[in-house]
Structures are given as C-alpha cells and as structure tokens.
Amino acid sequence: MATKEKSPTTLRLDKQTKEEARQVFAEMGMDFTTGINIYINQVARDHKLPFTPSAVDPLDAATEQALADMAAGRMTDYKDFEAYQRAMDKLSTTTK
C-alpha cells in the first residue's frame, strides 16, 4: 500500500476547547492529530458531517417539553418553597 503524501494544516481553536478535545482523544488512546484525522477522513468518506448540526437551543427544547408536561398534567405543586426543597433533597438522595 502506497503512503499518502501528508499536507500540513493549521487550525485556530480556543485553548479550552482544544485541551478538552485533546483529553478526550487521550482517553480513547490517541493523540490530537489522530483524532482530527479521523474526523476529516469521515467527512471525506461520507461527504457529510459525522453529526447533525442544529441551531435549536437546548433551553428552547427543554421549555417546550416543560410546557407539554404542564399541558398533560405531569407536574407537582408544592405549598411552599420548603416543601419543594424537601422533595428535591429526597430526590437527590434516591438518585445517588
């Protein structure tokens, strides 16, 4: 198999995003360059992004879900903040 000629590429990323990605790649057993190469190869092979970009704000989706839950009666009323806080404390201890 013939070795493909490599072409240097420069990317400008914010430091935090680059470091977070580097850490994820390292957890997968690869370096940053290998991770970026896998991404670029996937795009070239499939002629599309390996994920579906969305302009939907996750908060908008959560708000829509909350409104649907309210309309369907899936909600709990509390007589005061302390009652709500007790329920949340109980919920957090059951999920640990």
* Average pLDDT of the segment spanning 81-87: 93
* Average pLDDT of the segment spanning 77-91: 92
* Average pLDDT of the segment spanning 77-85: 93
Query: For the segment 19-33, what is each residue's pLDDT rounded down to a tens digit?
Result: 999 999 999 999 999
Distance (Å, rounded) from C-alpha 64 to C-alpha 67?
5
Query: For the segment 25-79, what is each residue's pLDDT rounded down to a tens digit?
Result: 999 999 999 999 999 999 999 999 998 888 878 899 899 999 999 999 998 899 9
* Average pLDDT of the segment spanning 71-91: 92
Distance (Å, rounded) from C-alpha 28 to C-alpha 23?
9
Hey, what's the torsion of the CAs at 8, 51, 61, 21, to 10 degrees?
A: -40
Three-state secondary structure readout of 29-94: CCCHHHHHHHHHHHHHHHCCCCCCCCCCCHHHHHHHHHHHHHHCCCCCCCCCHHHHHHHHHHHHHH
